Structure 1
Amino acid sequence: MAKLNEIIQWCDHILKSHEFKDYAPNGLQIEGDAEVNKILCAVTASQDAIEAAIEQGANLLLVHHGYFWKGERYPITGMRGKRIKRLIQHDISLLAYHLPLDSHPTLGNNASIADLLELENIEALDPSERHPIGNIGYLKQPMSATDFKHYVSTRLKFDVTHLTAEKASIQKIGYCTGGAQDFIVKAAEQNCDAYISGEVSERTFYEAKELNVHYYACGHHATERFGVQRLGKAISEQFNIEYSYFELNNPI
């Protein structure tokens, strides 16, 4: 077992969570047992993930998407109330890291995408950011836009949506996991051949065409499965406790 407060302190330090201005609180969101015997990792603190934690006897649920987002209503009722009630009933803590987990240079979602796609010479998508949320990487060899779609789809195991541009080949790639489709503008400013994110909007079709940057929508969930697994493994090794990953194949 490991102490909950020590795990939180370690994660906050490693991820530098206090240095981020985020859309939801990073760190401990629901406090359960003071001693952690097992961690369950999931992308989102859904009801299914909570039930999996209960079934597996985990008393720490580690997620990328937790609760208490800006703009949400304050009352803990309805769907969110049911989720939180189950966590409290079973003394399960909820630990969530959003932008700090996207950004981390080795544990993060973006770092995972770079490794999966074997990108090199990693740079910040926005050089003005202290902790870059998006990045740029380079393929070892240029690919056609069609071949790159197949390559990304195979590596991420997701049916990628490709919005085409005029560039004949792709080598310099901007990327930011999740719902960062609007960063295609930053990718264009950095003269990227292509840009990868999770989601796509109606306006993105026109932006890809007019900015001349190929856009690949690779799934919000599919692009953010990896950070919590890397963090869970790191916690497990640091504190010698068991962890597992819960996969709910969200097609979005």
Structure 2
Amino acid sequence: MSTTTRQDLLHAFDALLQPARFKDYGPNGLQVEGKTQIRHIVSGVTASRALIEAAIDAQADAIFVHHGLFWRGQDGCVTGWMKQRLALLLAHDINLFAYHLPLDAHPELGNNAQLGRQLGLKVSSCFGEQDLGFLGGRIDGSSFSSALELAEHIKNRLKRPVVQVGRAQGAIKSIAWCSGGAQSYFEAAIAAGADAFITGEISEPQAHYAREMGVAFIACGHHASERYGAPAVAAQIAAQFGLTHQFIDIDNPA
């Protein structure tokens, strides 16, 4: 079984995801330093205690996630859940790598690209702040007959219920999407000419915008929309170094 160093692994992730290009609310890269030599990587969506415990059981040397230990507005105190997660990582000498916006944005392996692949969509352009939103349509160029058909398609592909608001009538050809909590991108998607917008969450204002503007808003779950980027990136980098990798999905209804 091959190994690589923590530093070489960090350089590989940084070279692929280019975190310096993005303005983000938390640190991207190595968030917790563990052992120097790495053989086995576990990937997941969020560095929850459940994922860390599963990685310990899997004898991981490193964890690669989209959501790390830091969230917007966090006070920085190492208490409660933060202490519990850190204690597990440090006690078992596990490295934690986390990439937020850089993982959303990668044009082939990122959350948005992989979500589009899951849904059978191709990208024609980007939109929104930091060009994180994707705009395109079905790979074969056809339209969905209605927003309801698109919502049912997403439900079947992601295997979870979705919330669909707006666009009671009319075909859906131009589709915008941005994974996770990107409901604030809806107005930019409308301006870009989308017939429908797909993201993870919906907030109160977007339901009204959808009804008033005649553009469908489909919320398919924050976690469900971001299940695909982390394992795609981790698998590619693991293969580059000859490391072993496994994706562990900790279910989250949000």
Q: TM-score, normalised by structure 2?
A: 0.95
Identity score, percent: 38
Instruction: State yes or no: 1:109 paired with 2:135.
Output: no
Counterpart AA for 1:19:
R
Could you give the per-residue CA deviations for residues 11-32 of structure 1, whole angstroms, max 9, x where no partner exists?
A: 1111111111101100000000
Distance 1:16 1:157 in 2: 32
Distance 1:59 1:76 in 2: 23
Q: Is the 8 A contact 1:114 1:137 kept in 2?
A: no
Distance 2:233 2:163 in 1: 28
Per the alignment, residue 135 of structure 2 pairs with: 136
Deviates more, 1:149-158 or 1:188-197: 149-158
Distance 1:102 1:76 in 2: 27
Which 4+ runs in 1 deviate beyond 6 A? none
- What residue ranges of structure 1 are gaps of 5+ in the alignment? none
**1:1-252 mapped onto 2 (5 Å cutoff):** 1-126=3-128, 129=130, 132-139=131-138, 140-143=141-144, 144-252=146-254
Q: Structure 1 pair 54/121, CA: closer, same or farther in 2 (3 Å)? A: closer
Alignment length (residue pairs): 249
Distance 1:236 1:57 in 2: 15
Distance 1:166 1:75 in 2: 47
- Offset at residue 121 of structure 1 (A): 4.5
Could you give the per-residue CA deviations for residues 61-107 of structure 1, whole angstroms, max 9, x where no partner exists?
A: 11000023342112211111110011000000110000000000011
Counterpart AA for 1:98:
H
Distance 2:127 2:160 in 1: 24
Distance 1:164 1:137 in 2: 19
Q: Is the 8 A contact 1:178 1:220 kept in 2?
A: yes
- What residue ranges of structure 2 are gaps of 5+ in the alignment? none
Could you give the per-residue CA deviations for residues 187-224 of structure 1, whole angstroms, max 9, x where no partner exists?
A: 11011100000011112110111122101001000000
Q: Is the 8 A contact 1:188 1:212 kept in 2?
A: no
Q: Is the 8 A contact 1:3 1:35 kept in 2?
A: yes
Counterpart AA for 1:63:
V
Q: Is the 8 A contact 2:111 2:179 kept in 1?
A: yes
Q: Secondary structure at the match of 1:63?
A: strand
Q: Secondary structure at the match of 2:172?
A: strand
Q: Is the 8 A contact 1:167 1:213 kept in 2?
A: no
Distance 2:192 2:99 in 1: 28
Q: Is the 8 A contact 1:62 1:232 kept in 2?
A: yes
Q: Is the 8 A contact 2:180 2:201 kept in 1?
A: yes
Q: TM-score, normalised by structure 1?
A: 0.96
Distance 1:59 1:201 in 2: 38
Distance 1:172 1:149 in 2: 14
Q: Secondary structure at the match of 1:141?
A: coil
Distance 1:166 1:54 in 2: 48
Provide the alpha-carbon RMSD of the alignment: 1.2
